[in-house]
Amino acid sequence: MRLGAFTDKGRAREINEDNFFVSEPNEASGARFCIIADGMGGHNAGEVASKMAIDEMRESIRQLYRAGMSDSQIIEVLKESMWKANAAIYYRAFENKLCAGMGTTAIVCFVNDRNAYIAHVGDSRAYLIRDKTISQITTDHSVVEELINSGTITREEAVSHPQRHVITRALGADKDIDIDIYVHKYISNDIILICTDGLTNMLNDSEIFEIIDRNQDLQCAVEELVLMANNKGGLDNITAVAIGL
């Protein structure tokens, strides 16, 4: 399995409220997982929320996952990790005035010898690169995505829509959270990219594909993705993790 991971605060933000984690292979099964989170909230609370999400999810998956688990059991592990992270962030925001209103997107990609399992909340994305094409795996939990689905606006209009940054789901926003799950049976040479909207708001899908396609080294690929997003303005924190299968 090839991996590349990189984050940067971008050109417009003073701090990086994105966080990510890449696990080592499980000793018994070789399975690995990657998490990214894009925090939001005043007084640097977004940084707190994204770090809490990473920490809670990482520890939950480590404690709950066992080699030999079925697909449904792995899905439950990922859901449980997000539920725990959601509760931790929600109650921290409730108890600490400086953290009031904080939340975070979260996306985890867990890979074993059969499948890639993706759990997702918010507008951070997962992409599949296969056979010289790129396709978005996840669906954004955002106002503009709902407007597109209802036929109110086009995808082209969404790029400049005034509510393009408003998300409809986030860890920590409510006591309960709905989690989207995707199970992807991969084939050799597939690449999965997970990234925050600091990347996808700066680069379109074709630009993302071109950069990954010309870089055999996935660490070089994600670093170039971040560089190009910064060259186009770097209006937000930028995080990208690429997994070569």
Structural domains in the chain, sorted by start:
2-244 (3.60.40.10)
Answer whether residue 42 shows pLDDT above 90.
no
Higher-confidence residue: 43 or 19? Answer: 19
What is the pLDDT, as a whole number, of residue 44? 81
* pLDDT score, position 159: 83
Q: Let me know: does 20 contact 4? Beta carbons within 8 Å.
A: no
**Helix H or strand E encompassing 1:** none
Percent of the chain with pLDDT over 90: 93
Condensed to tens digits (0 to 9), the pLDDT of residues 68-95 reads 999 999 999 999 999 999 999 999 999 9
Cα four-point dihedral sign 157, 159, 160, 166:
positive
Q: What kind and span of H or E run contains 90? A: helix 71-95
pTM: 0.96
To the nearest 10°, the Cα dihedral for 176, 9, 154, 193?
-80
SS (H, E, C) 40-81: ECCCCHHHHHHHHHHHHHHHHHHHHCCCCCCHHHHHHHHHHH
Higher pLDDT, residue 124 or 43 = 124
Band (pLDDT 50/70/90 cuts) for residue 155 is confident
